[in-house]
Structure 1
Amino acid sequence: MEEASRSDTTTNKTPPARGQGLLASRELYQYILETSVYPREPEPLKEIREATADHPWGLIATTPEGGQLMALLLKLIHAKKTIEIGVFTGYSALLTALALPEDGKITAIDPDREAYEIGLPIIRKAGVEHKIDYNHSHGLTILDKILQDPKSEGSYDFAYVDADKENYINYHERLMKLVKVGGLIVYDNTLWSGTVAYSEPSLPDTFKFSKVVLSKVEFVKELNKVLAADSRIQMTQLPVGDGVTICMRLY
């Protein structure tokens, strides 16, 4: 198996095409979507996903299969109070709101209000806007403000981070105070289109021309090292969407 992987350099150097996550086969990815994801996707989520598809940065939205995983996690831990850093058009905020009980609350943080306005009418139509406390701001600003109240520590059940890769480690330290023992922190994009497996000289040409990828990959790789070494959490990293890391706070 190892010998085959070394000889097949074409396969190793070719990243997955857009629209198939990290799977090697676009057909398999489509099979998963059509068999297990789309049939169970609530109509409001479908609407917001389709509305986001026309956005120039539509590819950064939470993937539907990633959203399905997150909804399951929220239900499993009976989450009621959550934090979301990186809202974009609101797909993940909406799926969280749909999963929370009627008195659940999401502290949602994003500096791009214009993008959020795309999904807001759909969120309102779904009847869950009252669960979302939208903060038009950068993540660290709001987290530090929340932490000024000692009662906030350990008061959140769940956190989702999908923005500002440079500050993922800074977010982690703050969220480890805010999320309760037994609570979950979920980080998106932790495999960064598969680029974390390469050194910069060996990156596929597709990514060498992307300044965004090159500027973020080292931050993501450092986060992965930090999380793997953090004894305060139990964690798993999954090749779902663009890579998802799930952390449970142990103490």
Structure 2
Amino acid sequence: MRIQVDVNEALQDYVASISLREPDVLRDLRVKTSELPLSLMQISPEQGQFISLLVKAIGAKKALEVGVFTGYSLLATALALPEGGSVTALDISEEWTAIARDFAERAGVSDKVDLRIGDARASLDALLLEEGAAGSFDFVFIDADKENYWAYYEAALTLLRPGGLVVVDNVLWHGAVLDETKQDSETTALREFNAKVRDDKRVELSVLPFADGLTFALKR
């Protein structure tokens, strides 16, 4: 028998009350981002804490993030990395990532952050050409334009070491992946991405209906 809890707002608040340990610098960044027009692009503090836990659990030292926005997940990752760890972060916006840079400075982790501005596909191509990059990353988080998810995922698998983990956000897309009347480019790209990862024998796979849907793919 499958039992599923209806996670309403009251229950979500309860979960936060018994589990959330949000550092002040992350809370300040979340509040600042909430004032922006595109604030819905920011992940939840619970999701940020989950990413931090994963980074620590797998002993990650070298991380990659595709899609930064104002940097909540980036900062959560950088704070979780050990001394000497690094996170390479790719985004196309100078405006939003300026906030990320500022908060990385405030948190004292700017030395762990390698922020690269430009088209993420081009940045990944350049990264793949760097000596020693392929097979050297421990953790990858993808949360960027949905049409290019498969390209980002393929690059991530090449960059990851065996046993490395890639986490992909928004794979349920507010439930739109089930609505056949939704045929926009983002939704159709996510449907195709989900089907391809389902059949990808290069990884161990789990998809959780947490936040807006998260795919966890562990490289074999």
User: TM-score, structure 2 length as denominator?
Assistant: 0.93
Correspondence 1:31 to 2:14: yes
Of residues 149, 158, 175, the one that matches 1:168 is: 149
- For structure 1, list consecutive stretches of 5 or more residues without a partner in the other structure: 2-22, 204-212
Q: Which has the larger radius of gyration?
A: 1
Q: 2:196 is paired with a residue of what secondary structure?
A: helix
- Using the TM superposition, give the Cα deviation of residue 27 of structure 1 relative to its aligned residue in structure 2, in angstroms: 1.8
Q: Does the 8 Å CA contact 1:89/1:115 hold for their aligned counterparts?
A: yes
Correspondence 1:75 to 2:56: yes
Number of matched pairs: 216
What letter is aligned with 1:102?
E
Q: Does the 8 Å CA contact 1:44/1:123 hold for their aligned counterparts?
A: no
Correspondence 1:109 to 2:90: yes
Correspondence 1:221 to 2:191: yes
Show the 5 A alignment for 1:135-154.
Answer: 135-154=116-135
Q: 1:152 is paired with a residue of what secondary structure?
A: coil
Supply the RMSD in Å over aligned alpha carbons.
1.6
Correspondence 1:230 to 2:200: yes
Whole-angstrom CA distance in 1 between matches of 2:155 and 2:102: 32
Structure number with higher helix proportion? 1
What letter is aligned with 1:42?
P
Residue number in structure 1 paired with 2:217: 247
Q: 2:26 is paired with a residue of what secondary structure?
A: helix
Runs of 4+ in structure 1 off by over 2 angstroms are: 118-122
Whole-angstrom CA distance in 2 between matches of 1:28 and 1:196: 25
Q: 2:104 is paired with a residue of what secondary structure?
A: helix
Q: 1:153 is paired with a residue of what secondary structure?
A: coil
Correspondence 1:49 to 2:30: yes
- Using the TM superposition, give the Cα deviation of residue 149 of structure 1 relative to its aligned residue in structure 2, in angstroms: 3.1
Q: Percent identity, aligned pairs only?
A: 40
Residue number in structure 2 paired with 1:198: 179
- For structure 2, list consecutive stretches of 5 or more residues without a partner in the other structure: none
- Using the TM superposition, give the Cα deviation of residue 150 of structure 1 relative to its aligned residue in structure 2, in angstroms: 4.9
